[in-house]
Amino acid sequence: MALEVSSALLHQLRTGQATGWATQRLSNQSILWPGIADWPRPDIAFQDINTGATLALEFKPPNHSKREYVTGLGQMLTYLQDFEFSGLVLPERSSDGFEIARFITDTISSNLNDLPIMLLSYDKMASDFSVLRPLKARTTTLPARSSRSGPRTFWAYWRDLSNFELFELLRIIDSSGKPDFSRDFQKFWKSFVLKNKARRWEGTFRQKNPNSIVSPERINAFYAMRHCGLMDSEGRITLAGLKLLHVGKIYGPDSEAFLNLLARSILIDGRHLDLIFWIEGQTRQLGPSQKTTSTAYLAALDSRLAAAGVIAPRVKGASKANFIRDEPKLWNKLGLIEHKGSGSQYFQSGSGYLFNWRKILSVTGTEGGDF
């Protein structure tokens, strides 16, 4: 439901139809916010790539108590610490029939009227919302947050790290004293990578030149672990990271329990599940000729995602051919994407990527990741 709201709001921004709730600082150059939020983490976030304006939204599903929706008011206010604007999307009524949206609106008008916050309500369909309070210009100092210093994606930027390497890094970080990811990664690099003890997903050892530059892999690992909620911004292991490490110690990093728990972190905290929904939706809009080869498919997919505001416009002279490149490889390692026949190929001519929804639902559901 949050994705429905996100899609509808982004479409309005991109097509100039958001005048009923947005400000001029959120224009048709708005995209899904390409940053990492440790805490508080909004359900939906946008950024205007021209003005730099950011908007964070809290989404509340139906059939909850009044207390849940009042909590959403507090969450919305905390987002103003890191984002220029914030908002709350909630149903018109709470589970007992109380008009909670109207109550929150009156509360804001009486006590918080000058804040740059918005309020949207819905009845039956989350995407069919009403604007109870549009955004106001921010009069206080803008937050210092800048997403340009991090990855240019709203999902976890996962590149070189395998399940075996992640386990070793978690173990090193957990055994360290004062958090220092650069120091911990350097220890991992010297003890495992340069000594040819680091293993790929398949379990084979990878060879590394002693003169190899460490910083690209360190940066990639930092963003992957941080965005998936396994480590905080200071390099300290989180509760989710400790749980994954615990499973790895008992069953091994190549066990189904470890891989399923890792997949859950990547899909939910790393927001790869949102990306998969976007890819499926855009794939349905592609013509048959755009899905004949993986090259044509990825190029068309990039174009569609950029036009929708899911990814930033392609930078001239970019080093890689496509924006979506390593993500399908990761999904394949985790068993989240279907293979063509009995082979190892996962791009399917005429269809694109077909996702293993049985596995996805298994690892992200109520019992997902249990061991």
pLDDT tens across 152-166, in order? Answer: 789 998 988 999 999
301-323 average pLDDT score: 84
- Is pLDDT of 171 > 90? yes
Range with the lowest mean pLDDT among 20-29, 103-112, 166-175, 203-212? 203-212
- Is pLDDT of 144 > 80? no
Residue 344 class from Cβ within 10 Å (0-12 exposed, 13-18 middle, 19+ buried)?
Answer: exposed
- Tokens for 299? 């190029």
Say which amino acid occupies 239. L
- Is pLDDT of 321 > 80? no
Mean pLDDT of the residues in the chain: 91
pLDDT tier, 370 (very low <50, low <70, confident <90, very high otherwise):
very low
What are the φ and ψ backbone dihedral angles of 164, each rounded to 5 degrees?
-65, -45
- CATH number for the domain running over 2-149: 3.40.1350
pTM, full prediction? 0.89
**CB of 143 within 8 A of CB of 80?**
yes
Q: What is the pLDDT of residues 90-128, one digit of tens each?
A: 999 999 999 999 999 999 999 999 999 999 999 988 889
**CB of 290 within 8 A of CB of 297?**
yes
The predicted pLDDT at position 235 comes to 93
The predicted pLDDT at position 210 comes to 72
What are the φ and ψ backbone dihedral angles of 54, each rounded to 5 degrees?
-125, 150
Helix 181-188 and helix 215-227, axial crossing angle in degrees, nearest 10: 120
The predicted pLDDT at position 145 comes to 62
Indicate the length of the chain as a whole number: 371
Distant-in-sequence, close-in-space partners of 89: CB < 8 Å, separation ≥ 6? 2, 5, 44, 57, 58, 59, 60, 120, 121, 122, 126, 129
CA 269-123-132 angle, to 5 degrees, is 85
Alpha carbon of residue 235 to chain centroid: 19
Q: What is the pLDDT of residues 42-81, one digit of tens each?
A: 999 999 999 999 999 999 999 999 999 999 999 999 999 9
